[in-house]
Structure 1
């Protein structure tokens, strides 16, 4: 349940004066921000909403009160996808930015969790794939159905999916517009965890609590390193890992972690 410290986020950017189809709240006490897709019943994502989601992730990345960001949907479905008519109305220049906007969770330095239930189709799936963790309920159905419209995924879906599950399974999902369950997504390594629908929020809460107990500096470093070395050779990845490890050795958080370990107490990380 939200704490009494939860407040609706206010943004200085005039482009975020009125949010299109979603809300943003910050719980400073729990060091958590929630982005909730809110265009029931299916939480269809508009073209303008994609631009705003990018701006919101950038704003939350710079908000010192926030350690973890959670993306969820109102009601029984995360999102059935984008506003189909909007693709025909959007300019080529706007369409060219779709993948950049939806990749905002991956670029964000903080951990991002997608809480998925019900339909998670099209851009809803692509947005979830750009997050660091996907917690699926047993009602979740994932799909990239663009082939049914004579199109292909345009916001990074097929590319991210192929990195996760390989070309054979990606072709099975993309070229057949195939729906897969949350359990199958977990079995294939797409979903981090699958839980009963009634337990989705508590599972997400538990993951948030787990993540904020770690050093924010080490978390940012790990996320950046893993993202940057995803398509690197093994030798390059090991070299970069070594450089990151070396830099963290001089941090206050590492010193605090070692001290707390020897004193048999919980560490008090500050992100420095």
Structure 2
């Protein structure tokens, strides 16, 4: 039988507009947008970002993933010309690619400074945590192009802030400053720009303390029950709790609690 091949092999050989670093010692991986000055996200880059998140999800050395950018802006959005050149089939996959951080079983932190527009905002919304500063501006400006958000932006935002505020942002292409995003519940933390790196490091360290198994379980449960009824959500929560009840990490947590010591979780 001939050797199996997949297009993904070629797509990961040369990353377009971003790079990845993995610190196996700490369990942290950084996905860094690097197309200055505005870190525009190309069509090819969307495919690659999905593949990178899938790869990091399977990497046992990685516990927490940080999505950040070089320079003063996270991303001003996508490559506008690329939309006209892409086929309808390709465009139909955009939302699936940008949802990769949400599907990833590990915690993902978006570090958002400066412009965070269009797909830059959408991929941040697909992350689990968003840290913003006094420079951050969120926006879904597609109405200015005669379009609507196409990678989950309006849908995820409406889940977070409700239909009234989402219409205000989407239908008016309105920009939301970092402080307001925090007040609305879009952002997890609001810090001065000078403290952004320290706040990111602190959150990573905090997440690394917990059981990776319990973290993965909590993320999947919360994602899966986001649009479930209360009774279904409680039922699923009970099943997840029951499964963790027999885990090594839960036993370690209980023994550490009674022994008045810090737990050493192993992820099983």
Measured against the shorter chain, the TM-score band is over 0.9
Match of 1:9 in 2: none
Match of 2:220 in 1: 224
Map 1:243-254 to 2 at 5 A.
243-254=239-250
Question: Could you list the runs of 4 or more consecutive aligned residues of structure 1 that deviate by over 3 angstroms after TM superposition?
Answer: none
Match of 2:100 in 1: 104
In the superposition, the TM-score normalised over structure 2's length comes to: 0.97
Match of 2:234 in 1: 238
> Which of 126, 132, 138 is the aligned partner of 2:134?
138
* Cα separation, 2, equivalents of 1:48 and 1:152: 20
> Which of 191, 204, 209 is the aligned partner of 2:187?
191
Is 2:107 the counterpart of 1:78? no
Match of 2:39 in 1: 43
1:13 shift after superposition: 2.9
* Cα separation, 2, equivalents of 1:30 and 1:200: 19
1:98 shift after superposition: 0.2
Q: What SS does the corresponding residue of 2:219 show, helix, strand or coil?
A: helix
In the superposition, the TM-score normalised over structure 1's length comes to: 0.95
* Cα separation, 2, equivalents of 1:70 and 1:138: 20
* Cα separation, 2, equivalents of 1:23 and 1:199: 23
Is 2:122 the counterpart of 1:123? no
Match of 2:261 in 1: 265
Matched length: 261
Match of 2:20 in 1: 24
Tell me, which stretches of 5 or more residues in structure 1 are unaligned?
A: 1-11
1:137 shift after superposition: 1.2
1:29 shift after superposition: 1.2
> Which of 137, 154, 159 is the aligned partner of 1:158?
154
Q: CA RMSD in A?
A: 0.7
> Which of 184, 198, 218 is the aligned partner of 1:202?
198
* Cα separation, 1, equivalents of 2:25 and 2:164: 45
* Cα separation, 2, equivalents of 1:270 and 1:189: 32
Q: What SS does the corresponding residue of 1:36 show, helix, strand or coil?
A: strand
Tell me, which stretches of 5 or more residues in structure 2 are unaligned?
A: 1-7
Match of 1:53 in 2: 49
